[in-house]
Amino acid sequence: MRPGYGPAALELAAIELRRGKAAAAETLLADLVRSHPDWADAHAMLGRSRLLRGEAAKAEGALRAALEINPRYAAARTDLGWALLALSRSAEADVEFAHALELDPLGALPRQQLEWRELLATRRGA
Give pLDDT tens digits for 25-61: 999 999 999 999 999 999 999 999 999 999 999 999 9
Q: Which fold has domain 6-125?
A: 1.25.40
The confidence score (pLDDT) of residue 1 equals: 46
- Cα angle 70, 30, 104 (rounded to 5 degrees) comes to 30
- At residue 120, does pLDDT exceed 70? no
The confidence score (pLDDT) of residue 55 equals: 97
- At residue 2, does pLDDT exceed 60? no
The confidence score (pLDDT) of residue 114 equals: 73
Domain ranges of the chain: 6-125
Mean pLDDT to the nearest integer, 73-85: 94
- At residue 126, does pLDDT exceed 70? no
Tell me what the pLDDT averaged over the chain comes to. 88
Mean pLDDT to the nearest integer, 86-109: 88
Percent of the chain with pLDDT over 70: 88
- Cα angle 33, 37, 38 (rounded to 5 degrees) comes to 130
What DSSP element (H or E) covers 70?
Answer: none
The confidence score (pLDDT) of residue 118 equals: 72
- Per the confidence metrics, is the pTM higher than 0.85? no
Cα–Cα dist 64/59, whole Å: 9
